[in-house]
Structure 1
Amino acid sequence: MKSLNESLQGIMRGKNINTNIAELMKKVMADDDVQSFLSANRDQITKEMVRSGQSKLYEFYHEKQLRQQGEATVAPGYSPQLVLNSGQIDVTYVPTKQLMEQERQRHIKRLVQSINMPKFIQHASLDDFYIDEQHATATRTAALKAAVAFTESYQPGHFQPGLYLYGNFGVGKTFLLGAIANELAKTKGVATTMMHFPSFAVEMRNSIKSNSTSEKLAAVKKAPILMLDDIGADAMSKWVRDDVLGIILECRMQEELPTFFSSNFSMDELAANHLAIDTQGDREPLKAQRIMERIKFLSREMPMTGQNLRNKG
């Protein structure tokens, strides 16, 4: 085993430090954090422990200097910390605030599962929802207030209806859903599944061949928060209406799980002009009514009007 002097000399040669051990250790021992550690543990630390722990004291000092100078360290994202370990001075590495914030942001992103949704929802925020003088309308403002109220009052395990946002293209329905999902992840640690329903319906039809429809349904039926975007955009077959959408909504109603929707149609329009008429042109108003009963239980209707923000300069 190398002596402390040999170890430190090796470190100094690698770093081109032109000084002797005594002068180096004098700097180490004068460091404010080293002094604070020795003072806080003076009842437990002996002179012998300090002597035998010089390499650890130097390691702490050296890594601390590298971090302050912005150079590569032995553990990027972690800061050194002096500790007592089995009666010896030791160094442990703890996550920096920056690393913990990065991990927190990654965790938040993982909580929002996006299925065929536009990329912008990843960064959607309630603070960025346009209600300035140029873009504000009474309905947009009311929808934002309802969104804020939901995110502030929602408690996991307690049923709270979601929102059914409807209006013309580009008024911010999808953006607002994304903002709600991100806010719930950030403030409540709640997982949300967002999906573009017409695209999901296509995936479900394609999954019949691979016999994976049950697996795909199970992935969304019991999501803590579910958001179905653009419902009513495409005509539904009886199977999609009854055995996909109907099963999802039935499960969520029984389990009392909040569900959000966005659509170009009001609830009445969705029922009369979309759900009641399948892709074959057959009218089944009772089937549509059954679906709408579940949608009305799971959400509260909110109109959104205003200019098309997709054309915003």
Structure 2
Amino acid sequence: MEPIRETLKRVVNAPAFSERYNDMRKEVLENHGVQKFLEEHSSEIDKSTVDRGLHKLYEYIDQSHDCNKCPSFEGCINHLKGFEPNLVLERGTIGISYTPCRLKNAHDNKRRASSMIHSMYMPKEVMQATLSGFELDDSRMEAFRAVSKFLDETTGPDNMPKKGLYLYGKFGIGKSYLLSAVANELAEMNIRSVLVFVPEFMREMKQAIGDQTLQEKVDYVKKADVLMLDDIGAEAMSSWTRDEVLGTILHYRMAERLPTFMTSNFSYSELQHHLTYSQRGEKEDLKAARVMERIRALTEPVKLDGRNRRN
């Protein structure tokens, strides 16, 4: 049997192997990144160093750089997903180090931003909203400007306008979408938002009495950096949910001067009328006025108009 050393020597010296090796060496040395690396280390690298490190140089050129060969983070072709190779010289030997790529950084930032938003019963598609995706026309410009002003005046969790917005108007015109877009913008600033679909939240609060989680859930909502109450007025409001749940949340946020956003189909006056009558038909003007006083203290009303975009 032929010794393994002789076998390897014969394979290496074969014309086909030699040709492939030379082609690979040529491809490696013509790569811009490799040339730049060799120039930067010209005083430390000679031909033998290149020959010994040729497999590392080929590993380097065979991968994506600045995500130029990757369609997305999920479609990354590199040996380490989300990391791009960098040539290094360590003790006279060519090696490779890996650093996070542009797509990974964007992916991580998006995940980090998503963790800053807690949604309670909001539709998933709405939660993907962006300001750039908000269709502008004359009837929606006032709301867009009000939102932009709030964001421009926000520089961090401890420096936000004390008043949020009360976005109101008819069904399907983008109130919830704009609310979510604001939450996503705030998340980029590391500001935590809690988005609550009010009708479903109020139903859960009634159930929470039985499982003794009411106070915990109310505390979580009322202490959010930014609270967004979506579709207030669409729920069948009882005296208890109005006074003990909504009233408690709004009173805390008013006292602590925490930004609060709301959307509704009702104007201020229409919402007050809605809050005045309990499920049992009782007329409670004073209690409704007390809740509205807190809403006015927490928000600026902005009407949103336009066509129904759900149809």
| TM-score above 0.5, yes or no | yes
Name the structure 2 match of 1:13.
none
Shift of 1:85: 4.2
Deviations 1:1-23 (A, max 9, x none): xx9xx8xx99xxxxx98845465
SS at match of 2:166: strand
Output the CA distance in 2 between the equivalents of 1:253 and 1:43. 68
Equivalent AA in structure 2 for residue 269 of structure 1: E
What TM-score, normalized to structure 2?
Answer: 0.80
SS at match of 1:310: coil
What TM-score, normalized to structure 1?
Answer: 0.79
Contact 1:60 1:80 in 2 (8 A): yes
Name the structure 2 match of 1:106.
111
Equivalent AA in structure 1 for residue 169 of structure 2: G
Using the TM superposition, name which of 257-266 and 208-217 deviates more: 208-217
Change (3 A) 1:175 1:26: closer
Equivalent AA in structure 1 for residue 126 of structure 2: I
Contact 2:198 2:235 in 1 (8 A): no
Using the TM superposition, name which of 80-89 and 254-263 deviates more: 80-89
Shift of 1:61: 3.0
Using the TM superposition, name which of 29-38 and 104-113 deviates more: 104-113
Shift of 1:76: 2.9
In the TM superposition, 1:122-133 aligns within 5 A as: 122-132=127-137
Name the structure 2 match of 1:34.
34
Which consecutive segments of 4 or more residues in structure 1 shift more than 4 A? 16-23, 43-52, 67-72, 85-88
In the TM superposition, 1:192-271 aligns within 5 A as: 192-271=193-272
Change (3 A) 1:163 1:17: farther
In the TM superposition, 1:1-313 aligns within 5 A as: 19=19, 21=21, 24-45=24-45, 50=50, 52-63=52-63, 72-85=77-90, 88-132=93-137, 136-137=138-139, 140-156=140-156, 157-160=158-161, 161-186=163-188, 188-271=189-272, 273-311=273-311
Contact 2:170 2:265 in 1 (8 A): yes
Shift of 1:43: 4.6
SS at match of 2:283: coil
Change (3 A) 1:96 1:206: same
Aligned-residue Cα RMSD (Å) equals 3.3
SS at match of 1:158: coil
SS at match of 1:223: coil
SS at match of 1:293: helix
Shift of 1:260: 0.5
Output the CA distance in 2 between the equivalents of 1:204 and 1:28. 66
Unaligned regions of 5+ residues in structure 1, if any?
A: 11-15
Shift of 1:300: 0.5
Contact 2:202 2:235 in 1 (8 A): no
Output the CA distance in 1 between the equivalents of 2:210 and 2:255. 29
Output the CA distance in 2 between the equivalents of 1:249 and 1:236. 15
Change (3 A) 1:229 1:91: same
Contact 1:193 1:227 in 2 (8 A): yes
Change (3 A) 1:24 1:167: closer
Deviations 1:94-135 (A, max 9, x none): 233233233333333333332212333233233333433xxx
Output the CA distance in 1 between the equivalents of 2:216 and 2:45. 60
Shift of 1:47: 6.6
Shift of 1:304: 2.7
Contact 2:233 2:265 in 1 (8 A): yes
Output the CA distance in 1 between the equivalents of 2:136 and 2:68. 43
SS at match of 1:39: helix
SS at match of 2:210: coil
Contact 2:117 2:193 in 1 (8 A): yes
Contact 1:109 1:122 in 2 (8 A): no
Output the CA distance in 2 between the equivalents of 1:85 and 1:303. 64
